[in-house]
Amino acid sequence: MFRLSQSRSARKGFTLIELLVVIAIIAILIGLLLPAVQKVREAAARTESSNNMKQIGIAMHSYHDANKFLPPIYGYSQPYYGTVNNVTTGSWPFFILPYVEQDNVMKATLGTLTYGYNYSYTSNGRTSSYNYNQSYAPSTAFQAQRAKGKLKPFHSKLDPTAEEVESPASYSMNSAIYGYKYSYGGNYSWSNYDYGYTLTSITDGTANTFLLAENYSRCGTRVDYTQYGYAAGSEYSYSYDRVWNYDPNNYTSSYEYTYDGSRRPPYYKYTSTGTTYPYFSSYGTYDRTTYRYVPFEVKPKAPNCDSYGVQASTAGGALIGMCDGSVKIISASINLNTWRALATPNAGDQPGSNW
């Protein structure tokens, strides 16, 4: 009995060194697993984003089949010459809602046509505002500003700014494939104007022409003015949100300007915010870190990116939707001239082989 008791009492738990070794091994395993898990999540998000773009591309083709041209970058309406009925005001994502299984969202926006402009300007602590809101009954319209929220077809998990924007648009339309839709009322031939590209008018080839691209929903720029001799906190900044519910009939903008020359050094601050419809410039993207044009930015910081350019959310390249409905990953090594050739629909410029 004594020996058995002695054997049991001789048993010990982990020593401090053994415990530290076990913790170190677990930490190493976690360190090895986390990048792998992150890559799997990124790959899944990229696949989902690619599927969104394919769905949008198909929707644009369906809109084209029904209306004989691609959806307009934006549509605007005013009853200048008579009543308008059931017109649509918004940008291209709003126009294709019925083709991405969001028909109920559009139908819920039908109501009296309105126009509103809300502007505020703060100068040296004093705020001025201008608000104009007009209802045009009995004219009626489907208006994008009446719809809000995150819609799956336009919301990418790769977009690091999407959660910061109420109605984010993680994809933008090529500005070279533009179209406009105006409705002014009345029976004049020019009071209802539709213009847009048809697929047959893309003579460079639909497989060689950009239609869509991924981007950040919020972009802007910030310049620290202390580098120019101003007081601490001095800056110039602005940011724009690309939203799927942009409505040219109703918009809001705000500016803040402060200058205090009595301080030594003087204090200066300028801030501007607003929304814009989701499009990217066919000319390229202005890189605010190198101060030159590039095809697109790769994982830029949101406060310092081009709100009219393309932002690749991963280092692997940018997701691009072509006019033929296909989706490709374009490498960051693409030549700027090749990018511009792929962006133009009928310039006769053939892209190089580096894409």
Residue 188 belongs to some domain of the structure: yes
Q: How far apart are CA 215 and CA 156, in angstroms?
A: 9
Residue 352 belongs to some domain of the structure: no
Looking at the chain, the whole-number percentage of residues with pLDDT higher than 90 is 63
Single out the residue of 105, 217, 209, 219 nearest to residue 172, CA to CA.
Answer: 217
CB 192 within 8 A of CB 78: no
Dig out the tokens for 59 from the structure: 């929707």
Task: Give every CB contact of residue 221 below 8 A, 6+ residues apart in sequence.
Answer: 236, 237, 238, 239, 288, 303, 304, 305
Tally of structural domains, the chain: 1
Residue 326 belongs to some domain of the structure: yes
Residue 114 burial (CB count, 10 A) = 19
Residue 355 belongs to some domain of the structure: no
pLDDT in tens, 291-325: 899 999 999 988 789 999 999 998 889 999 999 99
CB 39 within 8 A of CB 243: no
Say yes or no to pLDDT of 15 above 90: no
- Domain range enclosing 109: 16-343
Q: How far apart are CA 218 and CA 160, in angstroms?
A: 9
Model confidence at 1, pLDDT cuts 50, 70, 90, reads: very low
CB 69 within 8 A of CB 181: no
Residue 349 belongs to some domain of the structure: no
Res 10: pLDDT: 53
Residue 354 belongs to some domain of the structure: no
Residue 38 belongs to some domain of the structure: yes
CB 95 within 8 A of CB 75: yes
Residue 318 belongs to some domain of the structure: yes
pLDDT in tens, 118-172: 888 777 778 888 888 999 999 999 999 999 999 999 999 999 999 999 999 999 9
